[in-house]
Amino acid sequence: MKRHFQYFFFIFFINVSVHSQNIPDSQNHHIAVFLPLYLDSAFNASNNYRFDQSFPKFLNPGLEFYEGMQLALDTLKNQSIHLDVHIYDTRSAHDPVSQVLQSSDFQNTELIIGHVNPNESRLIANAALQKHIPFINVNLPNNSAVVNNPELVLLNSTLKTHCEAIYRFLQKNYATSSIIYFYQKNAMSNDLKNYFAEIEKNTKSVSLNLRFVLLNDPINKNQLLAFLDSSKQNIFIAGSVNENFSKNLCAQLAILNKLYPMTIIGMPTWDDIDFTNPDYKGLEIYYTTPFYNNPNDTLVKYIQQYFKTRFYSRPSNMVFRGYEIMYRFAKLLELHGNETLVNISDKKYKVFNDFDIEPVFLNKQNTSPDYLENKKLYFIKKSDGIISSVY
């Protein structure tokens, strides 16, 4: 908790921008960062912290992203990169996003980075299109109904992209296997099921032997027995982003795992599930993610040690994301200037992840992309909660 209070007071009492010192403004590159810092909620009119010794979880994502971003800015400063970075609190009652986009400070912006909700994403994406400014959306796995906007860059890959990657992975590794796709009855699960059905219909390779099975709550092992074969490796897809469904399914399959060898493939939300729980013992689990921080990476180790020494805590994944995105795209901005968007896939400044940013055409007849998206995904293999390999 100590580290959070230090950062909160630092953010609150500085002017919310980071400038290169003694450099004419015209020589600086201008970056706007939109984060949910909740400063109005955290401090009252007398600048007193509202929550006493507690720290609400809703404050974490924006603050942790800021922590990582600040470390990257320190690194860039040491490299004599000249930046003018304005940080905007998207939860500010005094400076709402719509007002910020019309402000004089925003007019010189060359790059936008945003940890935002769908409404904010649409507002910012519209401004980015009008002013021809790349907008790096760091958290949303969807385009928020934004179309015909090549300035919008989604780093957190969409669910459809995850489904495409899973299908290709299965074609490569289990092309002749019978694969059971478990799903539940709700709108999101139906969308996922439709993605797989569409991919299967349009694949240019051999289609998978895929069977869709609806599971009703509560899930129990007797429901699953009909789909298990003790003579072969059973391959399952858990077609849901619902955490409870995923946990229940895995727990019931784990009961049967000793008699029926199995491999389970889940959705990107599985990155947040603690599979060290004995309920999941022995399962071979795969899931996809666009963000993977190799614990053996030198920079990862440095940041972990920095947080341990200074704040007595471990950095979250959002800290690493803040560092990576600020460093990588600030360096691209310095190198390419107003041609940054054209060179957005430049891999010169890789930090932790290989981003593969490609145009997405929702309508194949369009000549201009609807948005750009990171298509690079990592397959994480876990057993008893331990990462055993990464693809």
Spatial distance between the Cα atoms of 124 and 137, rounded to a whole number of angstroms: 10
* Contact status, residue 277 vs residue 298, Cβ threshold 8 Å: no
From residue 381, alpha-carbon distances to 225, 275, 373 in Å are 24, 11, 24
Does residue 124 sit in the same domain as residue 213?
A: no
CA distances from 71 to 74, 303, 384 (A): 5, 9, 33
For residues 307 and 340, membership in a common domain is answered with: yes
Q: Which of 224, 257, 289 is the last residue of a domain?
A: 289
Would the pTM count as exceeding 0.85? yes
* Statement to judge: residues 300 and 343 lie in one domain: yes
The pLDDT, as a whole number, for residue 46 is: 58
Within-domain flag for 391 = no
Is 121 in a helix, a strand, or coil?
A: helix
The predicted-structure confidence for 70-103, as pLDDT tens digits, reads as follows 999 999 999 999 999 999 999 998 899 999 999 9
Domain range for 201 is: 159-289
pLDDT on residue 23: 52
Give how far the C-alpha of residue 129 lies from the chain's centroid of Cα atoms, to the nearest Å: 23
What share of the chain has pLDDT > 90, as a percent?
A: 80
116 vs 36: CA distance, rounded Å = 7
Average of per-residue pLDDT across 219-228 = 94
Q: Is the residue at 184 inside a domain? A: yes
Domain boundary among 268, 289, 310: 289
Domain contains 97 = yes
- Regarding whether 177 and 96 lie in a shared domain, the answer is no
Beta strands 111-114 and 135-137 are: parallel
Structural domain includes residue 206: yes
Verify that 45 and 130 share a domain, yes or no. yes
For the cut 50, the answer to whether the pLDDT of residue 17 exceeds it is no
Asked if residue 121 and residue 19 are part of one domain, the reply reads: yes
What's the CA gap between 130 and 149, in Å, rounded? 10
Using the 3D structure, point to which of 289, 307, 324 is the last residue of a domain: 289
Average pLDDT, the chain: 90
Judge whether 360 lies within some domain. Answer: yes
Count H helices and E strands in the chain, helices first: 11, 15
Task: Report, as an integer, the average pLDDT of 189-208.
Answer: 94
- Cα-Cα-Cα-Cα torsion 141, 145, 146, 147, nearest 10 degrees, comes to 110
Burial class (CB in 10 A: 0-12, 13-18, 19+), 179: buried
Question: In terms of domains, do 104 and 201 share one?
Answer: no
What pLDDT is recorded for position 246? Answer: 96
Q: Please report, for the domain that includes residue 269, its CATH number.
A: 3.40.50.2300
Does residue 388 lie within any of the structural domains?
no
Is 127 part of any domain? yes
User: How many domains does the chain fold into?
Assistant: 2
User: What amino acid occupies position 241?
Assistant: V
Look at strands 378-383 and 178-183 and give their pairing: unpaired
Specify whether 242 is located in the same domain as 172.
yes
139 & 200 share domain: no
Split at pLDDT 50, 70, 90, the class of 20 is very low
User: Domain check: are 147 and 164 in the same one?
Assistant: no
Q: Has residue 389 been placed in a domain?
A: no
Judgement on whether residues 180 and 151 belong to the same structural domain of the protein: no
Residues 256 and 313 in one domain: no
